[in-house]
Structures are given as C-alpha cells and as structure tokens.
Chain A
Amino acid sequence: MMRKTVTTKLLGSMRGFPSHRVNYAVNAVARELIKSRELENDELRPLYMDFQATTPMDPRVLDAMLPYQVNYYGNPHSRTHAYGWESESAMEKARKQVADLIAADPREIVFTSGATESNNMSIKGVARFYKSKKKHVITTQTEHKCVLDSCRVLEAEGFDITYLPVKTNGLVDLQLLEETIRQDTSLVSVMTVNNEIGVRQPVEDIGRICRSRNVFFHTDAAQAVGKIPINVSDWKVDLMSISGHKIYGPKGVGALYVRRRPRVRMEPLQNGGGQERGLRSGTVPTPLAVGLGAACDIAQQELEYDHSRVSMLANRLVRKIMSEIPDVVMNGDPEQRYPGCINLSFAYVEGESLLMALKDVALSSGSACTSASLEPSYVLRAIGTDEDLAHSSIRFGIGRFSTEAEVDYTADKCIQQVKRLREMSPLWEMVQEGIDLKSIKWTQH
C-alpha cells in the first residue's frame, strides 16, 4: 500500500498503461528504493581504485596480527616474564622481515607510527644533530607534504633549505643536484616513487652523488617499498621511510631505516625510555609491528607477480581510455614510473565534476592529504602543467586486489562521463570548431 503511494508520487498516476507494464514499473521502483536504502546503509560500495591513499589489509596480515591482539598481548619491553619475551621475539621477527625486504640489517630498522613520523624524524633529527657545522638541506618541490612542512619548520629554526625544481617529466635534474650540494649540506631528501604522479626518481644516481660528496641521503619510499625491488646498499641510501598501510599492512605503523655503517647520527624527536636505539622511545605496538613484518614478507614473495599484474591492468586502463577519447595527458614520465599510479589530465573537463560523476568508483585528484583544499596539486604545478589541465587531473590507483572487471568498469565509466561533460562544455565546442583557446581575449565583466 505504502509502496503504491510512493510509486504513484514518483511516477505519476500511470493511467492508460497496460497493467503488466504498471506492475513492472512498480516492482522496478520498489527494487530501486531498496537499492537506495542499501546505498544509505553503505551496502553497495564503490569500487576501490585509490591504492595510493591506502590499501586494504591482506588477509594474511590480519591472520598474523590477530593472536597478538587477543592472546599474546605482552609489552615487548618487559624483560621479566613470558608475555614480554614472546612479544619481543615477535617484534624482532617482524623487524627481520622488514629488513629483508630492503636488504638491510635488522638492527637498522626503527619502528615508528608511520612514514610521516619517519620523515619528520629523519629530516629534523639529522639536520639538528649536525646543526653546528652544516646548515643546508636539499629537497624537491614534489615531496610529500610532511617533508616540505618539516623543511619549513627547519627554515624557521635558521636552516637553509633548497627546494629543487623538477623537470616536466617529474624527475630530478642530477646536474642541478650536483651543483646545489654545498660544503655545508647535511641532508638530501628525494622520494623514490611519487604518490601523485607515480614517477620513480633515479635513486641510485642520487645516492652515488650524495655518497661521493659525503652528504646523507634520505628517501621517502612509502609508495615504493614492496612494489619495486629495493636494496639500500646498492642505492647508497642512508635513511628510508616505510609506511605500513601502503603495502597492505595495518594503519598506524611504519618504519625508518637508519644506516649503521657509516653511522647516521640523529637527534631523537620522541624521548623516553630509550627504546628503538634511543631514536624513538615508546612501547612498540607488537600487533602492528607484526602486521608490518607480515606485510613486508608477503610483499617480497609477491613482488614479481603483483608487479606484472599491476602493469598489465594499468596498460589496459590507459590504452582503453586514451584510444576512446582525445586530449588526455598522462602526467609524469611514461617510462620511469611505478605502473600502478596513473595520473591523467582530461582537457576541457573539470576534475571535481568528473570525480562526482564517477561516484561509484573511489578515485582521487591529487593526494589524500591535500584533497581538502581547492587549489590544484602542487606536484602538478611543479611539473609545469597548465592551470586548467592541473584542475582536470584524476589519479587512478591499481593494486594487488584490483580485478579486470573493476578496471574495465572504471575505464568505460570514465570515457562515458568525460564525453558527457565535454558535450556540456563551451570550450570543447570552440575547440571542435577549430578556435585556438590561447588566442581568445576573455572580456572582464
């Protein structure tokens, strides 16, 4: 009865239609109302294509963590009883698993609360330790916000920071880096894989340059660990930040690799009982550390399989989109990249409206930590993208759990919505007529 009145309100009286059609319509509306209730209860959820923002936990990681959440809850720093001993051995096992992934020694790994804390620790810690003799720090313009913000804080403390520009393909100019390193440079910080455009920096060359000039090299490898093979000795990296929730591990944990030979000295940010070599005091969260270790272990085993699969899916997505619609630009170097992070700019389409139109796919334009502001991403600005193209960029993230069906759906939906939005765009009409947009003199009102 209620269903009929609601349906009548939505469809009108339906007079004159044959009864089987009316019944079909009423049933369809009822199903639809159920679906909208489901959406409200979050039962029909969007496809997840934002693997750079965070990743779902691998079931194997959760399986490793559960015993330490429920039964083996001891503090790993308790020396006097079995709860402490078993917790400590689990933590040390996790430390070894993390170290093995990056070809480091377990004693060089410090557990932190995430890559943001690791970045803060390394930049502020190293710079402040060598403050008396070395006052210069070099970083790039495309770094993560936490690195740039830490550098800003150091500037306020009296340090000299150089924010290196990047080339239009997103890579650092090695010549420029060599020229910028001074006698009083203590640290160079360049991220391995960018989280917005997926570009992979020439870390081996940067490491070689820094080692030859006796400068510490820090790299934020949050997006790279477990996705590309990493060897801190070959790369000559002194400090490396690792994030748990980017490699199918738990949120709230990360690690920092701090080289012991030659020793990297740093001032600790967090003081206390001297845990983690005195660099990061505080109880190590055993379940989270175990989760991080398991995630690293799994990542090492699955590295090749995941990489080939992600590359295949990424190629599928990009080829499909670029073959169907014109005027699509991929931001960042096409070769030196991690395939799972694709940043596409659709000309003559507004990025936010495209995101809203693609509501049933979880996507992002720019990184999660800057998506609240209305400005286009600073990374895109740094690689020299035009203002209008920077506003129309979308980041597609593909990961271990993505399927062909999801990628196909995303591509189809994207193509359909871009075409629809371009139909509505006067700029697109003008371009179709052959008018050069740069030659237009816009009048002031």
Chain B
Amino acid sequence: MAASTAQVLSLYRKLMKESSKFPSYNYRTYALRRVQDAFRANRSVEDPKMVEQLLNQGRDNLDMIRRQVGLPQTHAHTHTLVHVRTKLFQQGLKYFDAHSKILFFHHNNFSKEMFSINRPT
C-alpha cells in the first residue's frame, strides 16, 4: 500500500497534537521540535519502502507519546520559570522576577520602592 501525502500529514498532525499534551515544559518542547525536524529532514525521501518504514516508526512513537502523556501526573506538574514568565507577559504584566520579589510597574517609577516586597518568612 503506497503511503500517500494525506497519511503522512495525518500522522504529523496527530504527533504534534499528542506532543503538546506533555505537562513537562522540557519534554513538550523537545517532542514538538523533534517531530517537526524529523519530518522536515525526511521530506525528500522517495523510496516507498523507506517511507513505509519511517511511517511505522512514527506510529510507534505516537503510541509511545500517548502512553507517556497518559501516565498519572500527580507529581509531574513542573512549571518552570520560563513557562510562567511567558504566560505572565502574555497577561500584560511587564516583568515579574520571582526571586528578587520586585514588581515593576510600568508607569510609576517612584512606586518601585513602594512595592518591593520582602519574602514573608
């Protein structure tokens, strides 16, 4: 059975969708990036046997990602700082430094000291 473009694209879409479900930032970005790079690298493969083999590898990887994503995630939630910072930035907060605990307000320069907060011990 010759593999069609539609099959390849469908597999790609499924892989990207499943990969985006990883709760861990590092695993998620790695999976998305790796899938994309692997499909790009094999873009010009002509031999149908090779294509079929690669597609089977892709399907095995899809199953693996489904299993890993479906693992119970009670302790696996890891929001790293980069992840949170991009979210906050999107919400319109200009800069939030979790460690030095100073919130910068865009407009009031004098209130920088006003709102510096010591971490409650």
- Which residues of A are in contact with B by a Cβ distance under 8 Å? 6, 10-11, 25, 28-29, 32-33, 35-36, 38-39, 43-48, 56, 59-60, 62-63, 305, 359-360, 400-403, 405-406, 409
Contact = CB atoms under 8 A, between A and B. Distances in A.
A409 B77 contact: no
B103 interface: yes
A263 B54 CA distance: 41
Interface string B73-95: 00001111110111000000000
- Name the interface size band of chain B: 20 to 34
B80 A47 contact: yes
A28 B98 CA distance: 13
Given A10-B117, A47-B82, A59 B29 contact: no
Given A47-B80, A60-B64, A33 B120 contact: yes
B67 interface: yes
**What is the predominant secondary structure among interface residues of chain A facing chain B?**
helix
Contact of B26 (A6, A39, A60, A403): A403
Contact of B99 (A25, A63, A360, A400): A360
A28 B115 contact: yes
7 contacts: A10-B117, A35-B98, A45-B79, A63-B67, A400-B30, A402-B26, A406-B82
B37 A305 contact: yes
Contact of A36 (B27, B61, B79, B120): B120
Given A6-B120, A403-B29, 20 more contacts: A11-B115, A28-B115, A32-B103, A36-B119, A36-B120, A43-B78, A43-B79, A44-B79, A44-B80, A44-B81, A56-B26, A59-B64, A60-B64, A62-B68, A305-B34, A400-B30, A403-B25, A403-B26, A405-B86, A406-B82
Contacts, number: 76
B37 A32 contact: no
Contacts of B80: 44-48, 406
Contacts of B115: 11, 25, 28
Contacts of B26: 48, 56, 401-403
B75 to A, nearest CB: 9
A55 to B, nearest CB: 11
Contact of B78 (A10, A32, A45, A402): A45
Contacts of B22: 59
A360 B119 CA distance: 15
Contacts of B25: 403
Interface of B: 22, 25-27, 29-31, 34, 37, 61, 64-65, 67-68, 77-82, 84-86, 98-99, 101, 103, 114-115, 117-120
A33 B120 CA distance: 9
A405 B26 CA distance: 11
Given A401-B30, A403-B29, A44 B84 contact: yes
Q: Nearest 8 CB-CB pairs, A to B?
A: A401-B26, A59-B68, A405-B82, A63-B64, A360-B81, A401-B30, A403-B29, A359-B99
Candidate in B25, B64, B82, B86 with the most chain A CB atoms within 10 angstroms: B82
A21 to B, nearest CB: 8
B53 to A, nearest CB: 14
Contacts of B29: 401, 403
A46 B84 CA distance: 11
A38 B103 CA distance: 17
A409 B96 CA distance: 13
A10 B120 CA distance: 9
A409 B95 CA distance: 13
Contact of B98 (A10, A25, A44, A60): A44
Residue among A32, A43, A59, A62 facing the most chain B CB atoms (10 A cut-off): A59
Contacts of B119: 36
A46 B85 CA distance: 12
A289 to B, nearest CB: 19
Contacts of A48: 26, 80
